[in-house]
Structure 1
Amino acid sequence: MDYPNQSGFRQQPNVRMRGTTMDTGDASPLFDDTSAGGHKHSRKNDTGQAFLSDPMSNLAMAYGSSLASHGKEMMDKNLDRFIPISKLKYYFAVDTVYVGKKLGLLVFPYMHENWEVSYQQDTPVAPRFDINAPDLYIPVMGFITYVLVAGLALGTQNRFSPEMLGIQASSALVWLIIEVLAVLLSLYLVTVNTDLTTIDLVAFSGYKYVGMMIGVVAGLLFGRTGYYLTLLWCCVSIFVFMIRTLRLKILSEAAAEGRLVRGAKNQLRMYLTMSIAAAQPIFMYWFTFHLVR
């Protein structure tokens, strides 16, 4: 007679209960043996170490490193030939006192007497120590400010557009490059031996952006009358500044030449100096007259 279990269900006699243990003959291992793979990985590491310890591979790596460093050196040398990047730090070595004094000199150059650049051990001192030294900080900031003021002027006349602002900036930059190239060609044709560099010419030609910006701002505040009066003052100031600055650079070798040669070349150099100075007011008016109405 079968007795029911406690749960109320009768256990069938022919059903075999699944045991908690399994037959050891059919059991599979819980973890695979990876010792063979470990040996393969070890062999790969040994191969890599052998390759790195190979004299030919070390020679190839050293040659590649030397070739890369030589290529970088050649690129820096050729780049510095056209764009002396290593010298740009000198032209940006300014401080607040220098910027204030140089802006005053650009607007009021009439009372300044000593225009010679100071030297220390045959090298010019940094601009922050000499107000006569050329710099690139004021020309760059003057150009950026001029573009922003031009955009403001166009906006007050409902003529502003990104294309117009781009044309204004690109045209001013292109004409600056053309001006510097023309001066370099003129110095070559006149055979002037001067210590003026290309960056110096960029700096001197870029000082006119200060007067251009001041003229446009005066036109926005006081109309066309204020624009013309202010621009006229700035044009005369930049003309005087360029004459007194460049004559020391362009006429510096005249004292070492003979009287006849000195007289003929001095006349050409003086004409060249005056032409460079006279070109500044022309550009200043050309780039600003259409911004004030």
Structure 2
Amino acid sequence: MDYTAAQSGFRQQHNMRLRNSSVDRPDGSQLFDDTSAAVPGPEGAYRNQQAGPQAEGLPGHSFLSDPMSNLAVAYGSSLASQGREMVDKNLDRFIPISKLKYYFAVDTVYVGKKLGILVFPYMHKNWEVNYQQDIPVAPRFDVNAPDLYIPTMGFITYILVAGLALGTQNRFSPELLGVQASSALVWLIMEVLAVLLSLYLVTVNTDLTTIDLLAFSGYKYVGMIVGIVAGLLFGRPAYYLSLLWCCAAIFVFMIRTLRLKLLSEAAAEGKLVRGTRNQLRMYLTMSIAAAQPIFMYWLTYHLIR
């Protein structure tokens, strides 16, 4: 009995407190102030963190606006520009970047015409390189100008076709393909070095550069690719026929191209090719042209079986 009465009295006191808390004060204000906004939640804490540097006077902004820091940034940028100029100058000393840009200045029309001349040079009449103010025009404007695009792509395509040929014969391996690529590159370098040595011994004054010789020596990869593809598609007789055609074409191409370069001094002086020096120049031209079919056969015959 006493427990029940005490419990009912407690409930009445609790209900009276709830009713008093929900009643507003006579002056229109609440009996208890809402203090929920005083407790910062996650969003409030994030806003306080964002507003922190502003409240503290923005030290990062003051650092960036410091004259000494601006001077340090300007000095660092000047050092970077000077370092880049020094690297470009030293790099151009060993690797003529500006000259290489000339040899890669080609377009689709030039590549198509050049490939046609390399495969069928017999109908081409004018073999002279055009000049503009003693500077040869870019290859895309003159089909007779040497380029490095076709030799580079020809070398890469030759390696890929060689890998395909080895794969069809169940002889493919990364090591063998690497040997094939390194062998072709070494023979190309040796050929260019031999020509440079021959020009030095014969004392030929010519405007041929090392890059020109590299370009002319790299044109033979076009005929090599044609021979390998013909051999893969139609057998060994097709390989010999197509390679023979391409060898004759590259021989004629080299003769007609190099004779204007190696015999330019004699032509300018109005001399006939009868002297000892001129005969050596002619023999050198014939030797360079005759070496192309030899290399073409040497680098391709083992790929066709």
Q: Rg bigger for which structure? A: 2
Moved more, 127-136 or 278-287: 127-136
CA–CA separation in structure 2 for the residues paired with 1:241 and 1:39: 77
CA–CA separation in structure 2 for the residues paired with 1:168 and 1:229: 23
- Count of aligned pairs: 281
Structure 2 partner of 1:161: 173
Deviations 1:134-171 (A, max 9, x none): 12222222222222221221122111122222222222
Structure 1 partner of 2:241: 229
CA–CA separation in structure 1 for the residues paired with 2:203 and 2:293: 26
Contact 2:262 2:281 in 1 (8 A): yes
What root-mean-square deviation, in Å, do the aligned CA atoms of Structure 1 and Structure 2 show? 3.8
What amino acid is the match of 1:42? G
Aligned pairs (5 A) from 1:102-113:
102-113=114-125
CA–CA separation in structure 2 for the residues paired with 1:291 and 1:109: 27
Aligned pairs (5 A) from 1:74-93:
74-93=86-105
After superposition, the Cα gap between the structure-2 partners of 1:72 and 1:46, relative to the gap in structure 1 and judged at 3 Å, is closer
After superposition, the Cα gap between the structure-2 partners of 1:225 and 1:49, relative to the gap in structure 1 and judged at 3 Å, is closer
CA–CA separation in structure 1 for the residues paired with 2:274 and 2:134: 25
Identity of matched residues, %: 78
CA–CA separation in structure 1 for the residues paired with 2:108 and 2:217: 22
Structure 2 partner of 1:16: none
Structure 2 partner of 1:48: 63
Contact 1:190 1:269 in 2 (8 A): yes
CA–CA separation in structure 1 for the residues paired with 2:270 and 2:168: 59
2:251 corresponds to which of 230, 239, 247? 239
CA–CA separation in structure 2 for the residues paired with 1:79 and 1:265: 38
Q: Give the secondary structure class of the aligned counterpart of 1:42.
A: coil
Q: Under a length normalisation based on structure 1, what TM-score does the superposition of the two structures give?
A: 0.79
Unaligned runs of 5+ in 1: 13-18, 21-28
Q: Is structure 2 residue 262 aligned with structure 1 residue 250?
A: yes
Q: Under a length normalisation based on structure 2, what TM-score does the superposition of the two structures give?
A: 0.76
Aligned pairs (5 A) from 1:89-104:
89-104=101-116
What amino acid is the match of 1:250? L
CA–CA separation in structure 2 for the residues paired with 1:200 and 1:152: 30
Deviations 1:92-140 (A, max 9, x none): 3333333222222112222322210122333222323322111222222
Unaligned runs of 5+ in 2: 11-17, 22-37
Q: Is structure 2 residue 131 aligned with structure 1 residue 137?
A: no
Contact 1:254 1:262 in 2 (8 A): no
CA–CA separation in structure 2 for the residues paired with 1:159 and 1:232: 26
CA–CA separation in structure 1 for the residues paired with 2:58 and 2:107: 64
Structure 2 partner of 1:265: 277
Structure 2 partner of 1:283: 295
What amino acid is the match of 1:232? L
Deviations 1:212-239 (A, max 9, x none): 0111122223322222222122112111
After superposition, the Cα gap between the structure-2 partners of 1:9 and 1:230, relative to the gap in structure 1 and judged at 3 Å, is same
What amino acid is the match of 2:157? T
Deviation at 1:176, TM superposition (A): 1.8
What amino acid is the match of 1:251? L
Deviation at 1:205, TM superposition (A): 0.9
Say which structure is richer in helix: 2
